[in-house]
Chain A
Amino acid sequence: MIAHIAVILSFQLIGVVLSRLFLPILPGPVMGMVLCLIAFGFFPKLARATRPTAQVILSHLSLLFVPAGVGVVSHWSVLTADGPALLVAVAISTIIAMLTGALVFVGVARLTGSPH
C-alpha cells in the first residue's frame, strides 16, 4: 500500500515538475496521470499492483471535493448581484454540453461501428 502511494505521488511529482518546466498551462496531476498511464502500458505488473490502492482513493473521490465546496458557500458573495443569472447560465450550459457530448459520442460510435 505504502509503495503504491509512493508510486502515485512520484508520478504526481514528476508531472508537476515537467508541467512547470514545459507546459505551465497543464496542471501537474493531469500530466502525472498521463505519465502514469504510459508507464502502466510498459509495465502491466505495476498497473495490476497499483490498482487496489487507486481504487481506495477513487472510491471516495467525492470526499475530496468537500473542502472546495465549502469554499463556494463561504465565498458566495463573489457571485454578487449576478448570482441568479450565473446559476441559470451554468445550469443550462451544463445540460446542453452533456447532451451534445453524449449525442455526438453515440452518433459517431454508430457510424464507425463501435457499439458498446
Chain B
Amino acid sequence: MSGEVWQLWSYLGEEPLLWLTLTLIAYLAGDAVSRWTGRAPLANPVLLAVLILAGILWMSETPYETYFEGAQFVHFLLGPATVALAAPLYANLALVRRAVLPLLAALLVGSVTAIASVVAIGRAFGLAPETLLSLAPKSATAPIAMGVSEAIGGAPSLTAVLVILTGIFGALIVTPMFDRLGFADFRARGFALGVAAHGIGTARAFQVNETAGSFAGLGMGLNAILTAILAPLAVAFL
C-alpha cells in the first residue's frame, strides 16, 4: 500500500463511521442472500454478516475493540429492541392468555433441559468444572447468562461466546427440525426456540411469522428470569 492510502486507511480504521457502515452493508448483503434463498435457514443473515465482517477484520488486522467503536451503535439497540417486544406481545395477548398452562409447562421443562443437558453432555466429555459452569446458562440472553456465569464461578467471556453460538445454532436448526417432525403449532415452535436460543432465536422466529416471534420473545424473557434462578442450582450437582 502506498503511503497516502495507508494514512487514509489508518484514519478511517480508527473512525466509528467505517465499521458502523460496514456492519450495515454486511447485514444487507447477508439479508439479500437470505431473501434470495427464500429465507433458507442455513443462509442466516446474522451468520453471513458475521463471516463477512470477521473476514474483513482478519484481512485488515483490525482488533475487535476498534471494530466495536463503530458497531456499538448497532449493539446498543438490543436494549430498546427488547423493550419493543412488548408491542407484538401485547397484540398477541389473547393468544398468550389462552396458552398460559402450556407456556408455563414448556418454560419449566425447556429451561431445566437446556441447563441440565448441556452440563451432562459437557461432563461426559470430561470438561473442567469451571467450563461446565460457563456452559450452564448458555440458553439465556447474554447479559443474564454472563451475570449468572460470573456468580456461579464460570468465565463470563466464555459464556458470552457460548450464548451466541447457541442462538445461531438454534436459529439454523429450528425450521428444518420442526418441519421434518411435523410440528405445525407456531406458538410451540416459537416459544421453545425463545427458551432454548434467546434473542437470536427470536429474531429468526420473527422472520417466520409474528405469532412465532411473539411467543419466542416471551420465551426468551421468561427463561432469562428462570435461568437466573435455576443455573445456580446446577452448581449443587457438580
Chain A residues proximal to chain B, CB less than 8 Å: 5, 8-9, 11-12, 15, 25-30, 32-34, 36-37, 40-41, 47, 50-51, 53-55, 57-76, 78-79, 82, 85-102, 104-109, 112, 114, 116
Provide the bound-state CA to CA distance between A88 and B73, in Å: 33
**How near does chain A come to B228, taking the closest CB pair, in angstroms?**
4
Q: Chain B interface residue count: which class? A: 35 or more
Q: If the complex has contacts A32-B82, A54-B84, A64-B74, are A89 and B188 also in contact, measured as CB distance less than 8 A?
A: no
**How near does chain A come to B171, taking the closest CB pair, in angstroms?**
8
Chain B residues in 8 Å Cβ range of A116: 184-188
Chain B residues proximal to chain A, CB less than 8 Å: 23-24, 26-27, 31, 44-47, 49-51, 53-54, 57, 63-64, 67-68, 71-72, 74-75, 77-91, 93, 98-99, 101-103, 105-107, 109-111, 113-114, 117-118, 121-122, 125-128, 131, 135, 138-139, 141-144, 147-148, 151, 155, 157-158, 160-162, 164-170, 173-174, 177-178, 181, 183-189, 191-193, 195-197, 199-200, 202-204, 206-207, 213, 217, 219, 221, 224-225, 228
Provide the bound-state CA to CA distance between A37 and B43, in Å: 33
* Contact with B183, one of A11, A29, A106 (Cβ below 8 angstroms): A106
A70 in contact with B50 (CB, 8 Å): yes
Provide the bound-state CA to CA distance between A72 and B165, in Å: 8
**How near does chain A come to B183, taking the closest CB pair, in angstroms?**
6
B interface, over-half SS: helix
A88 in contact with B50 (CB, 8 Å): no
* Contact with A85, one of B79, B125, B151 (Cβ below 8 angstroms): B125
B101 in contact with A54 (CB, 8 Å): no
Chain A residues in 8 Å Cβ range of B114: 93-94, 97
* Contact with B83, one of A32, A65, A101 (Cβ below 8 angstroms): A32
B197 in contact with A94 (CB, 8 Å): yes
